Amino acid sequence: MGKLIYAMMVSLDGFVSGPDDELDWHLVDEELHRHFNELESEMETLLYGRRLYETMVAYWPTVEENPSAPDYEVEYGRIWRAVPKIVFSKTLENVAWNSRLAREVVPQEIRELKSRARKDISVGGANLAATFHRLGLIDEYRLYVNPVVAGKGKPMFAGVDSVARLWLVETRPFNSGVIMLRYKAVNDAENDLPTNIGKPATGALAAAGYTRLEQLTQVSEKDILNLHGVGPKAVGLLRQALAAKGLSFAGDSGEVS
């Protein structure tokens, strides 16, 4: 099953572009571009809104014909053309470059797409991503925070009016001053870990991908204790919660000393 990832460049004050879709403050040097190349090459499907799709097809299909294009841009163009794309639009009549049209976002269809995926899926475009966010379809957020205050423009989370809990999984600085913040979405409806283990332990478990007691039956107490933020008391409470459901850690060896 693949994760659905929303990754965007964003200003310090939360904008992804200028009021007229300007991207002139995006700091994409060779290092960051090669990072994006690697990220895109790992995607099984790209999900676009109309505006982002039109922006992409204006340059990337023919980048190889540009004699001044650096090799990492040419590489990205090849990756982009090869990855299947779904474009969500009610106005476009046709799409090209390994793309197909979808008229609306159907949550069950997206969940089925994720369940069939062998690799991850990327959603792009602030408006489309906001729809996916409201529907609880995004598994991971990657914010590439640029060292700039844009002042105005298109917000990264347009129209979002509810709280969503996230856990910080990774940070990565780039030489340009851009910092990647990678967050995992936390689905409270699916999380059945005991609430009394404390926020540090809950965060550490979520960052490692553990949000359900059943998942802990595949790992040992030692594995969980090795997570930064999880202490013996938290493991003892987890063991009690597991036992209440007739479950145990893998190779359960008894009490934590």
CA distances, 164 to each of 134, 137, 138 (Å) = 9, 12, 11
Supply the pLDDT for residue 69. Answer: 97
Supply the pLDDT for residue 19. Answer: 92
No. of H helices and E strands in the chain? Answer: 8, 10
Whether the CB-CB separation of 27 and 68 falls below 8 Å is answered with no
Supply the pLDDT for residue 252. Answer: 66
Of the candidates 136, 144, 193, which has an alpha carbon nearest to the alpha carbon of residue 165? 136
Counting residues of the chain whose pLDDT is more than 70, the rounded percentage is 96
Query: Is the pLDDT confidence value at 117 over 60?
Result: yes
CA distances, 50 to each of 16, 87, 93, 106 (Å) = 16, 6, 11, 17
Supply the pLDDT for residue 164. Answer: 80
Supply the pLDDT for residue 190. Answer: 63
- Write the pLDDT tens digit of every residue in 142-198: 999 999 999 999 999 888 877 787 888 899 999 999 999 999 887 655 678 898 999
Q: Which residues contact 107 (CB under 8 A, 6 or more apart)?
A: 135, 137
Q: Which residues pair with 86 in a beta bridge?
A: 47, 100
Place of tokens 């990754």: 7
Supply the pLDDT for residue 8. Answer: 96
For all residues of the chain together, what is the average pLDDT? 91
DSSP state of 2: P
245: its two tokens: 């459901």
In sign, the C-alpha dihedral spanning 183, 188, 192, 198 is: positive
What mean pLDDT do residues 41-52 have? 96
What mean pLDDT do residues 111-139 have? 93
Backbone φ, ψ for residue 48 (5° rounding): -125, 150
User: Which contiguous run of DSSP H or E holds residue 51?
Assistant: helix 50-57
